């Protein structure tokens, strides 16, 4: 989540730098609705379950790809002191709601286990899950320095909270769902989103103040909670009604309802299959 930590990845950082100019701290004086959205992982506010218990797609054991078939997008994320290409293992996971496998590139010493990755990914509703082309995992302290870039999620350290996974996929929704539908590369870059926050009087939590893009991703986590756990309005989120109503409309009420678990939903996009041969 704290994107600035992923300084190893020049392309990503420069892309974010362009986005973070004068307005990277929206409404720093606003109250924060939650102390952190990890509170939504377990039972909260009277709910009997949380994000961690959203029904996930069933899956078969991950299949390890042979050495030499590292996808280009994973190869680009390897670096000398983070993970060498030779230490990046590639797995394909077949979820029962998709004929195309999800691709996980995991460094051999990554903090997040393959089992945790596979399970947490299974709980992302398929219409959203299919928009992540590669999941990558690296070693690191705690769970930090996470990034999202053009369909690729990078996890550093031991990331077990379901809210973290929804947050990162939330960035993809900002780009590929809300952005695509409104004509912006990122919807959170639009005057519309800024006006929503300006008209509200609070933001989801302190991390939402890291930038408009993060405010969107945190609102998206809350939207996933609203769609799959319990009515978010029962948690007194009226102070951010504009943000909440907007993201709910974009991600769970209209279109493919990408953040809503729906039994029988299936993927409808091809999986990226490109790979490079190690040399
Ligand atoms: Zn983020």
Q: Could you tell me the distance, in angstroms and rounded to a whole number, from the CA of residue 206 to the centre of ligand 1?
A: 12
> How many helical (H) and strand (E) elements, i.e. helices and strands, does the chain have?
9, 6
How many angstroms separate the CA atoms of 123 and 156, rounded? 20
Measured CA distances, 249 to 51, 123, 233 (Å): 19, 21, 14
Among 140, 254, 247, 268, smallest CA distance to 196 is for 247
Amino acid 269: pLDDT: 81
pLDDT under 70 in the chain at which residues?
1-26, 80-81, 270-279
Among 1, 13, 43, smallest CA distance to 225 is for 43
Crossing angle between the packed helical segments 212-228 and 191-199, to the nearest 10 degrees = 70
Q: Could you tell me the distance, in angstroms and rounded to a whole number, from the CA of residue 146 to the centre of ligand 1?
A: 7
- Token pair 């939330």: residue: 170
Collect contacts of 143-148 with beta carbons under 8 A, ≥24 apart. 143/111, 143/112, 144/1, 144/2, 144/5, 145/2, 145/3, 145/5, 145/6, 146/1, 146/2, 146/3, 146/6, 147/3, 147/6, 147/9, 147/12, 148/172
Q: Are 131 and 169 contacting, i.e. CB atoms less than 8 angstroms apart?
A: yes
Q: Could you tell me the distance, in angstroms and rounded to a whole number, from the CA of residue 237 to the centre of ligand 1?
A: 21
How many angstroms separate the CA atoms of 87 and 108, rounded? 6
Tokens of 100: 């195309």
CB atoms within 10 A of CB 137: 27
Identify the DSSP state of 33: S
Among 41, 35, 9, 6, smallest CA distance to 167 is for 41
Q: Could you tell me the distance, in angstroms and rounded to a whole number, from the CA of residue 194 to the centre of ligand 1?
A: 17
**Domain definitions of the chain by residue range:** 22-253
Q: Could you tell me the distance, in angstroms and rounded to a whole number, from the CA of residue 170 to the centre of ligand 1?
A: 8
Q: Could you tell me the distance, in angstroms and rounded to a whole number, from the CA of residue 168 to the centre of ligand 1?
A: 6
Q: Could you tell me the distance, in angstroms and rounded to a whole number, from the CA of residue 36 to the centre of ligand 1?
A: 13
Q: Could you tell me the distance, in angstroms and rounded to a whole number, from the CA of residue 165 to the centre of ligand 1?
A: 10
Q: Could you tell me the distance, in angstroms and rounded to a whole number, from the CA of residue 81 to the centre of ligand 1?
A: 23
- What pTM was computed for the model? 0.89
β-bridge pairing 63-64 and 88-93:
antiparallel
Q: Could you tell me the distance, in angstroms and rounded to a whole number, from the CA of residue 1 to the centre of ligand 1?
A: 4
How many angstroms separate the CA atoms of 47 and 175, rounded? 30
83 φ, ψ (degrees, to nearest 5): -165, 125
CB atoms within 10 A of CB 39: 16
| Strands across the sheet containing 102-107 | 63-64, 88-93, 102-107, 134-138, 152-156, 147-149
Q: Report the SS3 class of residue 80.
A: coil
């Amino acid at each position: 989540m704290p994107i600035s930590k992923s300084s190893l990845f020049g392309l990503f950082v420069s892309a974010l730098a362009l986005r973070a100019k004068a307005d990277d701290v929206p409404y720093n004086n606003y109250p924060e609705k939650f102390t952190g959205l990890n509170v939504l992982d377990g039972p909260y506010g009277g709910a009997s379950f949380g994000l961690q218990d959203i029904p996930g797609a069933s899956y078969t054991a991950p299949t390890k790809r042979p050495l030499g078939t590292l996808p280009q997008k994973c190869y680009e994320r390897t670096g000398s002191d983070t993970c060498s290409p030779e230490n990046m293992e590639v797995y394909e996971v077949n979820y029962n709601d998709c004929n195309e496998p999800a691709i996980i590139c995991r460094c051999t010493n990554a903090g997040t286990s393959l089992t945790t990755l596979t399970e947490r990914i299974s709980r992302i509703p398929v219409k959203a899950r299919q928009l992540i082309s590669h999941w990558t995992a690296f070693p690191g302290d705690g769970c930090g320095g996470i990034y999202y870039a053009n369909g690729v999620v990078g996890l550093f350290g031991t990331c077990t909270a379901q809210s973290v996974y929804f947050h990162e996929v939330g960035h993809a929704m900002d780009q590929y769902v809300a952005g695509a539908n409104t004509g912006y590369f990122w919807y959170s870059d639009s005057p519309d989103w800024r006006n929503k926050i300006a008209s509200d009087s609070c933001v989801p939590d302190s991390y939402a103040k890291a930038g408009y893009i993060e405010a969107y991703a945190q609102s998206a986590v809350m939207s996933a909670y609203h769609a799959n756990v319990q009515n978010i309005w029962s948690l007194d989120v009226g102070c951010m009604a504009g943000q909440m109503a907007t993201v709910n409309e974009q991600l769970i009420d209209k279109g493919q309802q990408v953040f809503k678990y729906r039994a029988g939903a299936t993927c409808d996009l091809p999986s990226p299959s490109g790979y490079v041969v190690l040399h």
